[in-house]
Amino acid sequence: MIEIDGSKGEGGGQIIRTAIALSAVTGTPVRITNIRVNRPNPGLSHQHLRGAEFLAKITDAEVQGLKLGSKELVFAPRRIKGGDFDVDIKTAGSISLFLQSLIPAALYASDRLRVRVRGGTDVKWSAPIDFLRFILIPALREMGAEIRIELLRRGYYPKGGGLVQVE
């Protein structure tokens, strides 16, 4: 199991997103401690929680610490499976940041994966959804990734309500 101290570096959510995505892709369990401990609202936020819950679902992972505000997360994935899913971040939490965990894993799914995500599409402190639509996804396609993203509705802080579909 790989051990990661989440307070190192910038100490934010990117550590969580990257660690669980790479854990899912490699099948290597990861334990993240001190999650966002130096932030005003430490621990897992809604957006981190939904990302970890979703990756746990599509990898049949064994998970510990999967709750709002948790400062420690253990993620032990199995095989990445496909399917048709709906995810509601339940806040204006960033869909773009949620997709940073999903996309690497989706590229290795055993079957087609389609996900509809509700949340914020254009929110503070994260890339707007148009960065994914017009920059990241086309760049991944140039590298051979079969991925499609569709913006169905924009969502802004504080309500969210945006809707994006990724296949």
The residue ranges of every structural domain in the chain are 2-166
The predicted structure's pLDDT at residue 17: 93
The predicted structure's pLDDT at residue 76: 98
Hey, what are 114's tokens? 């389609």
What is the CB neighbour count within 10 angstroms for residue 58?
23
The predicted structure's pLDDT at residue 78: 96
The predicted structure's pLDDT at residue 90: 86
Question: How is 41-52 classified by DSSP, letter by letter?
Answer: S-S--HHHHHHH
**Positions of E strands within the chain:** 2-5, 30-33, 62-64, 73-76, 83-88, 113-119, 149-153, 162-166
Chain-centroid distance, C-alpha 51: 4
The predicted structure's pLDDT at residue 9: 83
The predicted structure's pLDDT at residue 11: 83
Q: Homologous superfamily of 2-166 in CATH?
A: RNA 3'-terminal phosphate cyclase domain (3.65.10.20)
One digit per residue, the tens of pLDDT, for the chain of length 167 reads 999 999 988 888 899 999 999 999 999 999 999 999 999 899 998 888 999 999 999 999 999 999 999 999 999 999 999 999 999 998 888 999 999 999 999 999 999 999 999 999 999 989 999 999 999 999 999 999 999 999 999 999 988 999 999 99
The predicted structure's pLDDT at residue 54: 95
The predicted structure's pLDDT at residue 10: 81
